[in-house]
Amino acid sequence: MIKDEASNAQKVEYRLEDQIGFKLRLANQKHLEHFAELMPDATPTQFAILARLHADGPLSQNHLGRRVGMDSATTKGVVDRLRSKGFVQSTASKTDLRRLEISLTSTGQEFASRAIATATKISARTTANLSTRETERLLALLEKL
């Protein structure tokens, strides 16, 4: 009997809207809405690849995937789509012919520069209801997760 009462109490205490996963999903949905509105020519994963190549220069496809937190299959698919848009190119590595080096094309370089400026606006919209200090704290807390 006591066990059933404890189970009922747990059911009552659990509120979906108070859960971290629920709140993260809603925040991500809002962020993605801003992203789609301001950067319709690239997905967030495509932008991540472009921004990383813009910052780091040419990278092996494997290393690029690790630097943006994507598995190798996802990275390959994103790189293939960016190649078809003319934003990236791949060449055989000079040091290891089994490895592909991914780099921005001149078109990709120009797009990435504009997209990075747009991404700053997207982040500002996403955090518009937060103070600078709250935004910094949120980023620090998310880093801990």
pLDDT per position as a tens digit, 31-80 = 999 999 999 999 999 999 999 999 999 999 999 999 999 999 999 999 99
* Fold of the 2-144 domain: Arc Repressor Mutant, subunit A (1.10.10)
The pLDDT of residue 96: 77
Residue-range domain boundaries for the chain: 2-144
* Residue-wise pLDDT tens digits, 12-25: 689 999 999 999 99
How is the chain classified by DSSP, letter by letter? -HHHHHHHHHHHH--GGGSHHHHHHHHHHHHHHHHHHH-TTS-HHHHHHHHHHHHH-SEEHHHHHHHHT--HHHHHHHHHHHHHTTSEEEEE-SS-TTSEEEEE-HHHHHHHHHHHHHHHHHHHHHTTTS-HHHHHHHHHHHHH-
For 101, other C-beta atoms within 10 Å of its C-beta total 19
